[in-house]
Structure 1
């Protein structure tokens, strides 16, 4: 592929490059082909693509061996076939005190290669991370992503992952310098440089190892990994032939700041007294019961949250008897609590106000005046964002926007002072100010929002991209991607022109992952599989077969859920329309304009 040709020289060490070009540095009529490598420490000597890259470790795994550098446990996958792990470090990193979270030796990258060349199918699949990423990718002590190794061994692909430039797990403290200011170097590594280096170096290593470049290069990732996929399309559009971007964490500062909004609602409106998980589930299950009816049957999940205007403040069966309702149980809601739930669903406003759901249920692809960002869809579980503990990434993001570590939770470490949970004191106006600062600081945050709608270079390079998104995502409201996709279609010449290279699917009932995201544990919605989604992408890239307007998905039979249910997911903006029959069977639907 043309997008890979320029990278070939990177795979040749300095000695091999001189041999290929002749000792007098003049061009050779018959260039010597790049050397192939063995899965041993000789890679450290021979793979030197540039002065910033170091091979940290090489480890060979035989078929059947656990993919670990330490002690295997019940979660450790075994290698299906022989596979080779190469750990890289790409500098320069970020200097500083040895114990500071902001100090980094560089970008850690793990590349897994089928050991035997005949087992390689010619593909590279780079795999995205989650949350703040981080990990031991550049360390000899542990493996950062053994599942990538299992994929390489099973599928016969070269796979690659990265720690995005830091080793801190579960905290954004790496993004703040010891004096409390913004760590622009590691923000850049985290936002875009690390993933680009992963693409460049993994292709180069594949060529050095096998003597040829990958025939096709793919990026697959979800959440942060989905955002990373969109970043490629926007900033490094020739890195990959195909991108599978699941529930992408684009609009980063906007939606993550808003993830703290339910907690501020609890602090300001409810005196810091959280609804119990039982109450939160009761509200969400009531919304499902009000909006899940199809063909006279309750599906247990909401097919189209955009059409659901359920209002808990008007539901007498949910409201407590003390507030004029009919519910005397422990899961009843007061009027104030019901109004708070409406705020969770609508999303952040500058002053804490919320419209009546029948006037605006928060599902539009445009934002109303005073509406900072979207909330969760009705029916998705509320416990992750509105439960007793705040979502950690949200607290960290607001802390970084305000450049004051005391707003964070105590686990956030900084030389100027560790976190002190000061976020609890924020007013609605102060949280809105943090939201505004997140937008204003995009250049310092390396444009982490990843919301540029101009994908023309990616399109012109022949790239193909698929985004899939759960309509019951309990962490990232799907409306943000709906909002972005509308802007892309406006920029790229309309819907039909956009769908020539970028297609979007929404999955009812799916959460932040390929699982049930609703508050109803018995919902068991039909879901796509990763193999199914990946095949849609590879067929589009390699065969020219675009993903269909209709893709049928189904449940998997288990002891708890023996009944197989199915339904179509439809190419946006089409929606599954019930046309008769059993609403639990895909043949009872057609994809049609809403």
Structure 2
């Protein structure tokens, strides 16, 4: 799996399904400052030969602290089906090499009625160890997606075949966690049965779970191999990206290198804003969302208006920050009844076109949006202060992105502008902010009343109030926003961090990552200082952990090869080789197209030659 870019789609889908039809990405690839975490005891490495073996004796032998117990231990030989407590099928993954799986539970968890989403025995952690001869002396821990959760602490099921692959193919110790809850009922775990905020599990989800994952993974590696790991790496995207930044902010010694891709930082801000498109449709369009064909028509028109390089259409937008396409003035997409020239069923009215402009601009307090020629929604991204205090509360999806998330729709899941309803993580989050379970969809389960989709009744002002409440409730939410720009402790300990964010991300707006990076620079001493330990790359056309996030299915978007980003990080940490521009390439096909991606704030600039060749561009 390693950097996990091409495999992120499957991880996203797993996370989405685990969250009740909503989710984010997994390790690189659909989110806390978490102050005041309880101290975690570490275990010094044993002297002499490793004392642990991969069998049930490990349950008694590995006792890092009083809160931790070993739930399960199982040895897998190369080619064994990766399955627990059930029969393998033709699609069951197999072990790439001999590996040892260890599952832990770290208490105290949260007590409550049996079966309630908020009831938890503790933090589940699944650790995979390569054979002792194959270990490369690294820890390569993986982040999660969406609300995470799942079976990391269960003795009956395997949580991550990706982590098993890291151990089996790469030779690194890997791990994952359920962040303190096994519930698959989306965000319902974060509300107690009486409707109050579950501060314990918010904290486990926001920060404590991943810190315990780091500490226990390294402790088990030291005990199992008889020597500590030389290097420890975190690798995550979406929620996993937020987790990586949380670790850098609050536990800077946990990892030497961190991959924090398309990070779900500013959690309550951007996730509340993820519900905004549906509120636009409710308030402006009578609750009837534009069809997928209508959304694609307008988004592809935006691509065609903004993708031209050297007189040729790339098929995706190279720089959405400069795209000011306005469908309300484009006769080719407007219906003939509204003065346009489009007589197809996919045509849009001026009211629908204005609604899509609102989606692109981003959430506002009153449901307004300026003309794209005046402000296309990107202006606040380059600021060194958080947006949200003015009328624009948060950013919108970039022009040319698949608004409803064509990739997710293929799995029957709702994207942000889906005609089938809200993105579930967004409706869950707003229900938690307003402490009203009925705001959520029926998948939100609580003893005070299950979800009734009452989000549909929210006004623009009420959604804006939920946004403000989400910020105010950060102490109760475990400081989930993870928006602290002070990374000085991570920098001073010698840590290195890499982030990439797709400019056609269907779920998390890249502008939020750009804004955070600029705030880090303002806090730390300037861009040149930040780039000494933390580098950001913006990837044109790329989606939420998938190569093509655009509305154009034929777009040939250069993307990462499987180990490319992780290799860049390890070279920086272990050899001091700081990455500069990286060359991406289209995956598959006979004639690969290549493109550089630049260290922010540099942008890709065409010079001359073949528009499909990286050699025809510079970073400036």
Same fold (TM over 0.5): yes
Alignment of 1:397-408 (within 5 A): 397-408=429-440
Give 3-state SS (helix, strand or coil) of 1:10's partner.
coil
User: d(CA) in 2 for partners of 1:103 and 1:312?
Assistant: 49
| 1:467-496 superposed Cα distances (whole Å, 9 cap, x missing partner) | 000000000000001110110000000000
User: 1:118 is matched with which residue?
Assistant: 133
Q: Is 1:101 aligned to 2:117, yes or no?
A: yes
User: d(CA) in 1 for partners of 2:90 and 2:265?
Assistant: 34
Q: Is 1:189 aligned to 2:221, yes or no?
A: no
Which of residues 582, 587, 597 is equivalent to 1:556?
587
User: d(CA) in 2 for partners of 1:547 and 1:226?
Assistant: 19
Q: Is 1:250 aligned to 2:254, yes or no?
A: no
Contact 1:470 1:478 in 2 (8 A): yes
Contact 1:244 1:467 in 2 (8 A): yes
User: 2:229 is matched with which residue?
Assistant: 214
User: 1:490 is matched with which residue?
Assistant: 522
Q: Is 1:162 aligned to 2:143, yes or no?
A: no
User: 1:274 is matched with which residue?
Assistant: 289
User: d(CA) in 2 for partners of 1:557 and 1:437?
Assistant: 46
Give 3-state SS (helix, strand or coil) of 2:43's partner.
helix
Alignment of 1:471-550 (within 5 A): 471-548=503-580, 550=581
User: 1:312 is matched with which residue?
Assistant: 327
Q: Is 1:370 aligned to 2:391, yes or no?
A: yes
User: d(CA) in 1 for partners of 2:487 and 2:190?
Assistant: 28
Change in CA separation of 1:8 and 1:250 when aligned onto 2, cut-off 3 Å: closer
Alignment of 1:380-391 (within 5 A): 380-383=401-404, 384-388=415-419, 389-391=421-423
Give 3-state SS (helix, strand or coil) of 1:119's partner.
coil
User: 2:43 is matched with which residue?
Assistant: 10
User: d(CA) in 1 for partners of 2:90 and 2:357?
Assistant: 42
Q: Is 1:175 aligned to 2:190, yes or no?
A: yes
Give 3-state SS (helix, strand or coil) of 1:278's partner.
helix
TM (norm. structure 1) is 0.93
How far has the Cα of 1:556 moved from its partner? 1.9
User: d(CA) in 1 for partners of 2:561 and 2:145?
Assistant: 19
| 1:96-128 superposed Cα distances (whole Å, 9 cap, x missing partner) | 0012100000000000001x2110000001100
Q: How many residues align?
A: 564
How far has the Cα of 1:327 moved from its partner? 0.4
User: d(CA) in 2 for partners of 1:294 and 1:517?
Assistant: 19
Give 3-state SS (helix, strand or coil) of 1:204's partner.
helix
In structure 2, the gaps of 5 or more residues are 1-38, 405-414
User: 1:80 is matched with which residue?
Assistant: 96
Contact 1:111 1:158 in 2 (8 A): yes
User: d(CA) in 1 for partners of 2:556 and 2:197?
Assistant: 43
User: 1:296 is matched with which residue?
Assistant: 311
Contact 1:474 1:517 in 2 (8 A): yes
Give 3-state SS (helix, strand or coil) of 1:581's partner.
coil
Give 3-state SS (helix, strand or coil) of 2:155's partner.
coil
Give 3-state SS (helix, strand or coil) of 2:596's partner.
strand
User: d(CA) in 1 for partners of 2:349 and 2:395?
Assistant: 24
Q: Is 1:130 aligned to 2:145, yes or no?
A: yes
User: d(CA) in 1 for partners of 2:432 and 2:41?
Assistant: 39
| 1:538-591 superposed Cα distances (whole Å, 9 cap, x missing partner) | 00000000011x111101223xxx331000000000011000111111000010
Q: Is 1:236 aligned to 2:255, yes or no?
A: no
Which of residues 140, 150, 162 is equivalent to 2:165?
150
How far has the Cα of 1:66 moved from its partner? 1.7
User: 1:22 is matched with which residue?
Assistant: none
Give 3-state SS (helix, strand or coil) of 1:139's partner.
coil
TM (norm. structure 2) is 0.89
Which of residues 344, 366, 369 is equivalent to 1:354?
369
User: 1:61 is matched with which residue?
Assistant: 76
Contact 2:40 2:212 in 1 (8 A): no
| 1:422-472 superposed Cα distances (whole Å, 9 cap, x missing partner) | 000000000000000000001111110100000000000000000000000
User: d(CA) in 1 for partners of 2:544 and 2:521?
Assistant: 25
| 1:251-273 superposed Cα distances (whole Å, 9 cap, x missing partner) | 00000000000000000000001
| 1:219-257 superposed Cα distances (whole Å, 9 cap, x missing partner) | 000000000000001000100000001100000000000
Contact 1:375 1:477 in 2 (8 A): yes
How far has the Cα of 1:146 moved from its partner? 1.4
Which of residues 587, 590, 593 is equivalent to 2:615?
587
Contact 1:11 1:48 in 2 (8 A): no
Contact 2:152 2:177 in 1 (8 A): yes
| 1:136-176 superposed Cα distances (whole Å, 9 cap, x missing partner) | 11111111111110121010010010000001225000000
User: 2:346 is matched with which residue?
Assistant: 331
Change in CA separation of 1:48 and 1:589 when aligned onto 2, cut-off 3 Å: same
How far has the Cα of 1:51 moved from its partner? 0.5
Contact 2:41 2:65 in 1 (8 A): no
User: 2:459 is matched with which residue?
Assistant: 427
Contact 1:11 1:34 in 2 (8 A): no
Change in CA separation of 1:195 and 1:7 when aligned onto 2, cut-off 3 Å: closer
User: d(CA) in 2 for partners of 1:530 and 1:255?
Assistant: 29
User: d(CA) in 1 for partners of 2:536 and 2:322?
Assistant: 19
Give 3-state SS (helix, strand or coil) of 1:87's partner.
strand
Contact 1:76 1:146 in 2 (8 A): no
Larger Rg: 1
Contact 1:132 1:170 in 2 (8 A): no
**Runs of 4+ deviating beyond 6 Å:** none
How far has the Cα of 1:75 moved from its partner? 4.1
User: d(CA) in 2 for partners of 1:410 and 1:160?
Assistant: 32
User: 2:33 is matched with which residue?
Assistant: none
Task: Output the aligned Cα RMSD.
Answer: 1.4
Give 3-state SS (helix, strand or coil) of 2:74's partner.
strand
Greater length-normalized contact order (CA 8 Å, ≥ 6 residues apart): 2
In structure 1, the gaps of 5 or more residues are 1-5, 17-31
Contact 2:117 2:185 in 1 (8 A): no
User: d(CA) in 1 for partners of 2:524 and 2:44?
Assistant: 36
User: d(CA) in 2 for partners of 1:462 and 1:255?
Assistant: 30
